[in-house]
Amino acid sequence: MGLAGPTELDAVWRQHSRKVLATLIRLLRDFDLAEEALHDAFLVAANKWPREGMPDNPSAWLISAGRFRALDKLRQRACFDTAQAELALLLADTESAEETHLADDQLRLIFTCCHPDLAPEAQVALTLREVCGLTTEEIARAFLIRTPTLAQRIVRAKLRIKEAGLPYEIPAQEELPGRLDSVLRVIYLVFNEGYSAHSGDSIVRAELSVEAVRLGRLLAGLLPDGEVLGLLGLMLLNEARRQARQTSTGDVVLLADQDRSLWDRAMMAEGTILIEQAFRQHQVGPYVLQGAIAAVHAAASSAAETDWNEILGLYGILRRAAPSPIVQLNRAIAVSMVRGPAAALPLVQSMLDTGQLADYHLAHVAEADLLRQLGRNELAKAAYVRALQLCRLEPERRLLQRRLAELAPS
Amino acid sequence: MQYMFLIYLDEAKFAVMSQPERDAFGNGMLDYDEELKASGHYVTAEPLKAPSEATTVRRWNGALTTTDGPFMETKEHLSGFVLVQARDLNEAIQLAGRMPLATVGSIEVRPLDVLERS
């Protein structure tokens, strides 16, 4: 027991507030009442702890203080109806706040925030605010949307949870795969938004990626399912390359040109181990496969030493496990590395011809790169121009303009 | 961050109320202020006199002019404000939603801006 000053309180807030909130949401079955209770509990702590010392188990103390304050408020407020009277009774009996309980509550909260009944963009917003503790303003800034729009999304999602009575629980075993899918999708979306934003002037929005990795770790600790490990491994293997992905002036550096001494080897090793672990569980889904491909890149000490045969094989499995035009496009790039650009070009062109990926700038970039490698410069230029018309990301645009300039006759 | 709650009310809705009903809103708002103070969200709050007491000031083209009444002719008038300290917009919305007057009027929530000399 030590006396708690502002620094200690800040540390407690950072360490415990999200866990305490998750438990309060379960106890109170109301996001907003729980947030209020959390706020009040910290207010009481800020008053008491500096005088009386910090309790041995701060989370348990905060949960108990929060639930008492909530109970008081429910009693005071005029809207004290029968449902709330029942809730108050429920609150009145005590319950331990063991660490396993706290962890389960966080997992419950993730599943509730990512419930398939909520719109996908609401799932993301709610997860970042309620689970990660980001403010509405921070989330809006990261996703380049107006704060009032995002705030409204969160208000509506909470209302939906309340009105539809979405359960605050960890799904049963038979429901788990479907429900887990949407959780993993949200986490990966947050990661990618931070790793490679869709528009704006910087390709790196580190905060979101850090949050996604943190969520991935939390989930992997609680639910070490193959795909959960796969996703965490995949994110770590990508995150490890962050330093090498852009120059100091913010220009894109492609994988083949990256200075591999800038790669975070410890993070890569951790990611690779996770992928191996997932393979051993014989649960090889799309995230594990994408992670495995990233691990092959990580294993190569130079771009030339990349085992493209292995990558092509993995894309072959991924294409069957999770067929998508993006996977086909990436596989085509692997084909070009193994069998040459002439073998890959028809694959890319047939996808563009059928209208698949016609609006996706990277498909046009792939076509342009292949044409350039084949020496068909005029056609390559036209493809780069099409890619430029579709690309909104400033650093990528600069890269495409450099490519175009290289092709111009001197 | 600080957020301003601008309270817009339609006087016609209050005109038909009994005095105890009107008093309940007044007392409810004072209780609400106390609640905000206790939770550490309170910065300041004041009601405003009726729009008929308003004067709109302009100094367009250098000349000071004044007109009676509020600038805009709308059914709901700005009737008071509350300034709060909140974690983010969603917490501010939550606080505004608990205001007794939110049940009859509209509360506009606006973040405060920072004006810097440039």
pLDDT in tens, A57-92: 999 999 999 998 998 888 777 555 656 666 665 665
Continuous segment of H or E residues that includes residue B5: strand B2-9
Chain B residues in contact with A36 (beta carbon < 8 A)? 39, 94
pLDDT tops 80 at residue B86? yes
Q: For B40, which of A43, A135, A148 is closest by C-beta distance?
A: A43
Closest residue by Cα to residue A363 from A347, A352, A378: A352
- From B40, which residue of chain A is nearest by alpha-carbon distance? A43
Residues B80-104: what's their mean pLDDT? 92
**A209 residue type, one letter:** S
Q: A35–B39: do the CB atoms touch at under 8 Å?
A: no
B69: left (phi over 0), alpha (psi -120 to 50) or beta: left
Residue B102 contacts A where some CB pair is shorter than 8 Å: no
Q: Compute the nearest-CA separation of B110 from chain A (Å).
A: 10
**Residues belonging to chain A:** 410
Mean pLDDT, contiguous 10-residue spans, chain A (410 residues): 73 90 91 93 93 91 92 73 62 58 85 94 93 88 85 93 88 85 91 69 68 91 92 97 86 91 97 96 92 97 95 96 92 97 96 90 95 95 94 87 84
Chain B partners within 8 Å of A135 (Cβ):
87-89
- For residue B21 the two structure tokens come to 């009903």
Mutation target vs A (from B88, B109, B113; most A CBs, 10 A cutoff): B88
User: Given this model, what pLDDT does residue A204 score?
Assistant: 44
Residue A333 in contact with residue A367, Cβ under 8 Å? Answer: no
Q: Compare all CA atoms of chain A with the CA of B94 and give the residue at the minimum distance.
A: A32
Q: What is the pTM of this model?
A: 0.80
Q: Which residue has the tokens 């949307």?
A: A145
Amino acid at residue number A338: V
Per-residue pLDDT tens for B7-36? 999 888 988 999 999 999 999 999 999 999
Burial class (CB in 10 A: 0-12, 13-18, 19+), A407: middle
Residue in chain B lying closest to A46 (CA): B40
Counting residues of chain B whose pLDDT is more than 70, the rounded percentage is 97
Q: What is the pLDDT of residue A1?
A: 46
How far apart (Å, rounded) are the C-alpha atoms in residues A241 and A258? 9
Asked if A147's CB is within 8 angstroms of B89's CB, the reply is: yes
Subunit contact A35:B94, Cβ cutoff 8 A: yes
Written as one letter, the residue type at B38 is A
Contact A220, A232 (CB under 8 A): yes
pLDDT band at residue B55 using 50, 70 and 90 as cut-offs: confident
B2-9 sheet: strands from edge to edge: B42-47, B77-85, B2-9, B106-111
